[in-house]
Homo-oligomer: A and B are copies of this chain.
């Protein structure tokens, strides 16, 4: 079955849990944004994704991208679907109107990309970096470059890539060797090789705009000697630039997206931003990309859940224990969905999807606030949220996508392992999201070492107080969440202190710390859902699953981090 977006479900979260429209329409940039517009955009997006994007997904996996003589042919239906995507104005949803965009809030783009990923992860990789490239160019590009490329990228007429990784430089970008040499006319000659370039070559657009991390001849060693250069496939005069795809990788999944080995043979390019400040310029793009990957995770998990839920309501195996289910009728076997082990899988994944949506959509709203709020304090708070929550979402949502999709596969029994039902594709496709845009281990280090500990935990503490203040201590569930938020604040201080005694410690506890944060955020999200969402019957099963089976990990991880800190501070006690 193909993925079917559910605008009604998403609206429940946006409208009742997050209050998206009142919050965003208070910003001058979105003064005309209202319920009707939001509903209309979501309904149209849902239809478009269901009718145009989802159908070619299966062929994207089975046929995949084909490489021959430097060219990549995308799977059947991908060109047409991408063309419809551009013609519908979808790539430009949240780009500024002056750049050819529609000026809508980022939160709607977030929902759109979640659905796109759920329906067709492979195809969605193509425009996945567009918005990041747009922001990067908008903030760091020269007027001339913007003139030439900004609206083409905003509208998706040309696609963009992010060329970072080299064979010996994956997580360690400081080792990048691709060279950029300045020319008399202000352009650069780029020479070197890049790997794992998603959409490095394809037949979806005429031109492809590569943003390439490289090193100038006199640059300092390491990450502070990297510059960002824009290298188009086609030069402004229409001639072919010296950038070529050497081959595409054979992968575990995501066959609908070409993962290219690229060669730059003194290709012509133009500097974006300052020399040796390439990473800073690229980070704009990477942060957008990280939230995007978190949304892929949520979308893929929802795709897996939809398949498993449908199968569990068709397939009958054995009698379920307990009271006779209404669905039994005269059947000798009960629906798979009636069996507790299967019910648990479905409700638990639903709990993750619903809870993670609250956090992810709020993060997208904070992007809007950070860009458009007139109050600098509000912008600062929103930026803090994005900086701290984005790596948490990226790691936790992608981990859950893979593990949750595997749980959903289990609902099918042996049928889950054969291709026919499409669920194993979700498992294979989703696995890469735990790796790209910074492995999940890198996200954890980014969170704890680079962000939380960089200011001694002050920023994280502020965020947790902000969350606490949105809860109602008179409500038992809210009070429980407040207690957990306080535990996390205390834990943060404990880690900060122990890290002074042992600089390796934060690297050792980063993964567990990130999980504690995510579980606290989910607990907060479920408290908000419980307090605000109508139709309690819709939410009761996943909420119960969350409290029963997901949340206990909070104490477990908290204990792991605490014991590691204690061992550092008083090694003789815990040896």
Question: CB within 8 Å of B: which residues of A?
Answer: 165, 169-172, 174-175, 195-196, 221, 249-253, 259, 316-318, 321-322, 332-333, 339-342, 344, 402-403, 406, 409-410, 413-420, 424, 427-428, 431-432, 434-436, 439-441, 444-445, 502-504, 506-508, 510-511, 548-549, 552-553, 555-556, 559-560, 563-564
Pairwise interchain contact B175-A333, C-beta atoms closer than 8 A? yes
From B251, B415, B419, give the contact of A250 (CB < 8 A): B419
CA of A318 to CA of B506 in the docked complex: distance in angstroms?
16
Shortest A565–chain B CB gap in Å is 12
CA of A122 to CA of B107 in the docked complex: distance in angstroms?
47
Pairwise interchain contact A170-B431, C-beta atoms closer than 8 A? no
Shortest A491–chain B CB gap in Å is 15
A414 proximity list for chain B (CB < 8 A): 165, 170, 195-196, 435-436
Q: List 28 A-B contacts (CB under 8 A).
A: A170-B317, A170-B415, A172-B316, A172-B317, A172-B318, A172-B333, A175-B317, A253-B417, A259-B418, A321-B504, A322-B503, A322-B507, A340-B507, A341-B444, A341-B445, A341-B510, A342-B441, A344-B508, A402-B406, A406-B431, A410-B434, A410-B440, A416-B435, A427-B431, A548-B563, A549-B560, A552-B556, A556-B556
Q: Closest residue of chain B to A440, judged by CB?
A: B410
CA of A340 to CA of B504 in the docked complex: distance in angstroms?
8
Q: A171-B317, A504-B322 are in contact. Are A424 and B556 (CB under 8 A)?
A: no
Pairwise interchain contact B170-A441, C-beta atoms closer than 8 A? no
From B165, B316, B564, give the contact of A548 (CB < 8 A): B564
CA of A504 to CA of B555 in the docked complex: distance in angstroms?
27
A409 proximity list for chain B (CB < 8 A): 431
A431 proximity list for chain B (CB < 8 A): 406, 409, 417, 424, 427
Give the 3 A-B CB pairs with smallest separation, nearest first: A322-B504, A341-B441, A252-B424
A174 proximity list for chain B (CB < 8 A): 318
A435 proximity list for chain B (CB < 8 A): 410, 413-414, 416-417
A165 proximity list for chain B (CB < 8 A): 414
Given contacts A341-B510, A409-B431, A417-B435, 10 further A-B contacts (CB under 8 A): A172-B316, A196-B414, A249-B417, A249-B419, A250-B419, A341-B444, A341-B445, A410-B440, A410-B441, A427-B431
A410 proximity list for chain B (CB < 8 A): 434-435, 439-441
A170 proximity list for chain B (CB < 8 A): 317, 413-415
CA of A435 to CA of B423 in the docked complex: distance in angstroms?
14
Shortest A307–chain B CB gap in Å is 14
Q: A341-B444, A419-B252, A560-B548 are in contact. Are A321 and B413 (CB under 8 A)?
A: no
CA of A159 to CA of B322 in the docked complex: distance in angstroms?
42
Pairwise interchain contact A418-B249, C-beta atoms closer than 8 A? yes
Residue of A221, A552, A559 with most chain B CB atoms under a 10 A cut-off: A552
A318 proximity list for chain B (CB < 8 A): 171-172, 174
Shortest A331–chain B CB gap in Å is 11
A555 proximity list for chain B (CB < 8 A): 556, 559
Pairwise interchain contact B432-A417, C-beta atoms closer than 8 A? yes
CA of A268 to CA of B419 in the docked complex: distance in angstroms?
33
CA of A342 to CA of B171 in the docked complex: distance in angstroms?
13
CA of A500 to CA of B501 in the docked complex: distance in angstroms?
53
Q: Closest residue of chain B to A253, judged by CB?
A: B417
A415 proximity list for chain B (CB < 8 A): 170
A445 proximity list for chain B (CB < 8 A): 341
CA of A341 to CA of B253 in the docked complex: distance in angstroms?
25
